[in-house]
């Protein structure tokens, strides 16, 4: 099978580059090994006058990475507009933050249609397309409109909210109906699956029989595939990374003090305000903990052009400075707050340095930081994960200290408990979590989804499509590129 993976954000194969997206960083090693073609946005836009979508193509492992310039006239309405100001807040149960115009929806559909046209270039008779995330809910339907009959899979990295919240998204019915063009739709958790099925049954009047929905598009299988990491590889990276200059400088600066760490995109779904409030509460209620532990909070700015994100950045900066002003000393800063991204290598070393990992989103599809924090620990002296029960990861990492991120007192108490947890309990909890990570790796996730996608079509005759000239041209270029690469 010739796999084409599609996502808005893609990652280039450079281990030392800072990475913003959980999805892009997670997919990189598996896509690299699989020989798939990975198609996404270049991050640049181009006006609509060109006939063919413009893609920069480079070798990626055994496959290739194609980065497309998206249409300038529709990019804002698609990315900042419909994807991140309507779908993102709705999927994370923040109906109060939904903002979208009909124009944004039309731009979103235009970009999905544009991507579909661009994907024809990579079509071969045995191609299967695997689309990632909420940016491309309608891409499957656009591909079908163009006559694509090959298997189409879709995986949602975010949560899927309850149907009354989804109903707050403009054009939700048309959009979700279009999702049924996919042969397979994957979710992170059973809750997301149930919310989706409930929408389909109540709003579209269709039935999901044993996870299969029948509509005018045919059959759509819906299933749960919790995404994982490569825990062994991450552990090795973490053990090596302690020698990295950034990590050793951090260690020297601690001087016996304990460290808690939080690493997030600067996003309202991550519960950053509540987390800072919990640390504030802890130092207020237990002043003896001042100077014995500080928080390193990395909050990488993202989607800055959207008002809700700009407001959060200002609010967070004010809050951190207020907490530091009240609890700090001439030689002690309670919260080290950084607005920049770090490479996976450095992050692995920072996680290993911290005695407590705080991952407290209000809602999260999975949250791979939680899994990476666990994998990065020293087995002889592991740190403690404080994890929101509203992160998808809590389903598997149930021996973390689970918290309700809305309960500031409860979080403050739990962080203090984590700081004093005896080694024997830390090891027991950590070993149980590592077992889970080992049994549900990113490699397994990738293989399970691709196998299930193939299985959805097992009875269908293979599509007999002529190879397009562009596909042939791409093959030639890819051979040349691969030859240069190795
Ligand atoms: O599923 C959500 C997601 O795709 C994550 O993988 C990633 O953290 C984030 O969204 C990327 O957002 P953006 O590309 O807008 O920075």
Q: At residue 247, does pLDDT exceed 90?
A: yes
Pair 39, 176 in one domain: yes
Name the closest-CA residue to atom 11, ligand 1: 21
Pair 239, 222 in one domain: no
Tokens 């281990």 found at: 15
**331-361 in b/e burial notation, b at 16+ Cβ within 10 A?**
eeebbbbeeebbbbbbbbbbbbbbbbbbbbb
What is the arrangement of strands in the sheet containing 37-46, beginning at the earlier edge strand?
Answer: 55-60, 63-71, 37-46, 2-6, 127-132, 152-155, 184-187, 218-224, 212-215, 208-209
With vertex at residue 360, the alpha carbon angle to CA 355 and CA 365, rounded to the nearest 5 degrees, is 120
CA 168 to centroid of ligand 1, rounded, Å: 21
CA 471 to centroid of ligand 1, rounded, Å: 29
Tokens 């929101």 found at: 388
Pair 262, 403 in one domain: yes
Contacts 24+ apart (CB under 8 A), 99-106: 99/307, 100/169, 100/170, 101/77, 101/170, 102/170, 102/171, 103/77, 104/77, 104/78, 105/77, 105/170, 105/171, 105/175, 106/74, 106/77
Q: For residues 446 and 288, give the distance between their C-alpha atoms in angstroms, rounded to a whole number.
A: 47
Q: At residue 470, does pLDDT exceed 60?
A: no
Compute the CA torsion angle 145, 205, 129, 107 (nearest 10 deg).
Answer: 60
325 Cα distance to chain centroid: 34
* Closest ligand 1 atom number to CA of residue 302: 16
Is any ligand 1 atom within 6 A of the Cβ of residue 23?
A: yes
**175-194 pLDDT tens trace:** 999 999 999 999 999 999 99
- pTM here? 0.93
Pair 40, 98 in one domain: yes
Tokens standing for residue 15: 């281990």
Pocket test of ligand 1: the residue of 22, 79, 229, 301 to mutate, having most ligand atoms within 8 Å of its CB, is: 22
Structural domain total, the chain: 2
Which domain does 193 fall in, by range?
Answer: 2-227+442-483
Tokens 């309608």 found at: 138
Tokens standing for residue 107: 């731009």
155 Cα distance to chain centroid: 11
Q: For residues 273 and 90, give the distance between their C-alpha atoms in angstroms, rounded to a whole number.
A: 20
The secondary structure element, H or E, covering residue 132 is: strand 127-132
Q: For residues 221 and 453, give the distance between their C-alpha atoms in angstroms, rounded to a whole number.
A: 9
Residues with a known catalytic role? 157, 364
Q: At residue 475, does pLDDT exceed 80?
A: no
Is any ligand 1 atom within 6 A of the Cβ of residue 303?
A: yes
Q: Do 399 and 423 form a contact (C-beta atoms < 8 A)?
A: no
Q: List Cβ neighbours of 38 (8 Å cut-off, separation of 6 or more).
A: 4, 5, 6, 7, 10, 27, 31, 60, 63, 64, 65, 66
Whole-Å CA distances, 52 to 49, 111, 117, 198? 9, 14, 9, 40
Pair 415, 449 in one domain: no
**368-396 pLDDT tens trace:** 999 999 999 999 999 999 999 999 999 99
Is any ligand 1 atom within 6 A of the Cβ of residue 158?
A: yes
Whole-Å CA distances, 44 to 8, 68, 72, 177, 372? 12, 8, 8, 30, 30
User: What count of Cα atoms within 13 Å lies in the side-chain half-sphere of residue 433?
Assistant: 32
Phi, psi torsion values for 247, nearest 5 degrees: -75, -45
What ranges in 92-204 are assigned the alpha helix state H? 102-119, 139-145, 163-166, 172-179, 190-204
Q: At residue 268, does pLDDT exceed 50?
A: yes
**278-305 pLDDT tens trace:** 999 999 999 999 999 999 999 999 999 9
Pair 277, 333 in one domain: yes
Helix (H, G, I), strand (E, B) or coil at 241: helix
Pair 344, 423 in one domain: yes
* Closest ligand 1 atom number to CA of residue 83: 15
Task: Determine the pLDDT at residue 58.
Answer: 93
Pair 111, 17 in one domain: yes
Is any ligand 1 atom within 6 A of the Cβ of residue 9?
A: yes
Pair 248, 332 in one domain: yes
DSSP code of residue 458: T
Question: Averaged over 106-111, what is the pLDDT?
Answer: 97
Pair 218, 246 in one domain: no
CA 252 to centroid of ligand 1, rounded, Å: 33
| Paired sense of beta strands 356-359 and 384-388, if any | parallel
Is the Cα dihedral 242, 245, 247, 249 positive or negative? positive
**126-140 pLDDT tens trace:** 999 999 999 999 999
Is any ligand 1 atom within 6 A of the Cβ of residue 157?
A: yes
Task: Determine the pLDDT at residue 255.
Answer: 86
Pocket test of ligand 1: the residue of 88, 157, 359 to mutate, having most ligand atoms within 8 Å of its CB, is: 157
What ranges in 330-485 are assigned the alpha helix state H? 344-353, 368-375, 408-419, 423-439, 442-456, 469-485
Pair 312, 206 in one domain: no
Pair 333, 404 in one domain: yes
Tokens standing for residue 333: 């800063």
Q: For residues 117 and 52, give the distance between their C-alpha atoms in angstroms, rounded to a whole number.
A: 9
CA 80 to centroid of ligand 1, rounded, Å: 12
Whole-Å CA distances, 49 to 45, 71, 73, 139, 440? 12, 9, 11, 22, 46
Is any ligand 1 atom within 6 A of the Cβ of residue 109?
A: no
The secondary structure element, H or E, covering residue 281 is: helix 272-285
Q: Do 68 and 143 form a contact (C-beta atoms < 8 A)?
A: no
Name the closest-CA residue to atom 13, ligand 1: 21
Name the closest-CA residue to atom 12, ligand 1: 21
Question: Averaged over 27-56, what is the pLDDT?
Answer: 85
Is any ligand 1 atom within 6 A of the Cβ of residue 124?
A: no
CA 88 to centroid of ligand 1, rounded, Å: 10
Task: Determine the pLDDT at residue 161.
Answer: 98
Query: In this structure, what CATH number is given to the domain that contains residue 305?
Result: 3.40.50.2000
Is any ligand 1 atom within 6 A of the Cβ of residue 365?
A: yes
Is any ligand 1 atom within 6 A of the Cβ of residue 265?
A: yes
Kindly report which listed range (189-203, 250-264, 349-363, 454-468) carries the lowest average pLDDT score.
Answer: 454-468
Q: At residue 16, does pLDDT exceed 80?
A: no
Q: For residues 240 and 434, give the distance between their C-alpha atoms in angstroms, rounded to a whole number.
A: 19
């Amino acid at each position: 099978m010739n796999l084409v993976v599609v996502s808005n954000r893609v990652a280039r194969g450079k281990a030392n580059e800072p990475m913003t997206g959980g999805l892009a960083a997670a997919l990189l090693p598996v896509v690299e090994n699989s020989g798939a073609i990975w198609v996404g946005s270049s991050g640049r836009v181009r006006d609509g006058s060109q006939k063919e979508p413009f893609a920069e193509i480079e070798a990626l492992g055994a496959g290739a990475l194609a980065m497309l310039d998206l249409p300038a006239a529709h990019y804002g309405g698609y990315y900042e507009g419909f994807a991140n100001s309507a779908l993102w807040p709705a999927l994370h149960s923040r109906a109060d933050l939904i903002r979208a115009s009909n124009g944004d929806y039309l731009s979103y559909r235009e970009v999905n249609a544009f991507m579909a046209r661009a994907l024809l270039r990579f079509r071969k008779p045995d191609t299967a397309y695997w689309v990632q995330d909420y940016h491309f809910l309608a891409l499957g339907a656009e591909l079908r409109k163009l006559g694509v009959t090959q298997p189409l899979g879709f995986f949602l990295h975010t949560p899927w909210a309850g149907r009354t919240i989804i109903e707050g998204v403009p054009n939700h019915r048309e959009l979700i109906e279009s999702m049924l063009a996919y042969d397979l739709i994957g979710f992170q958790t059973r809750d997301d699956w149930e919310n989706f099925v409930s929408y389909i049954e109540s709003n579209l009047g269709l039935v999901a029989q044993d996870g299969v929905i029948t509509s005018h598009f045919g059959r759509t299988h819906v299933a749960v595939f919790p995404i994982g990491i490569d825990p062994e590889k991450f552990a090795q990276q973490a053990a090596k990374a302690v020698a990295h200059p950034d990590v050793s400088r951090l260690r020297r600066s601690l001087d016996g003090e304990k460290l808690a760490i939080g690493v997030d995109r600067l996003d309202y779904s991550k519960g950053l305000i509540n987390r800072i409030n919990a640390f504030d509460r802890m130092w207020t209620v237990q002043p003896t903990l001042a100077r014995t532990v500080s928080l390193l909070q990395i909050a990488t700015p993202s989607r800055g052009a959207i008002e809700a994100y700009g407001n959060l950045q200002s609010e967070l900066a004010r809050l951190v400075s207020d907490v530091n002003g009240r609890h700090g000393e001439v030689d002690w800063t309670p919260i080290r707050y950084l607005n920049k991204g770090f490479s996976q290598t450095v992050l692995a070393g920072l996680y290993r340095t911290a005695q407590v990992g705080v991952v407290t989103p209000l809602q999260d599809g999975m949250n791979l930081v939680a899994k990476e924090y666990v994998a990065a620990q020293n087995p002889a002296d592991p740190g403690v994960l404080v994890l929101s029960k509203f992160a998808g990861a809590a389903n598997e990492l149930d021996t973390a200290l689970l918290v309700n991120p809305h309960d500031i007192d409860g979080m403050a108490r739990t962080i203090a408990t984590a700081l004093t947890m005896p080694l024997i309990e830390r090891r027991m909890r950590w070993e149980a979590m590592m077992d889970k990570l080992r049994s549900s790796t990113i490699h397994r996730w990738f293989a399970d989804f691709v196998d299930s996608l193939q299985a959805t079509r097992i009875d269908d005759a293979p599509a007999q499509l002529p190879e397009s000239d562009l596909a042939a041209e791409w093959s030639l270029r890819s051979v040349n590129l691969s030859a240069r690469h190795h």
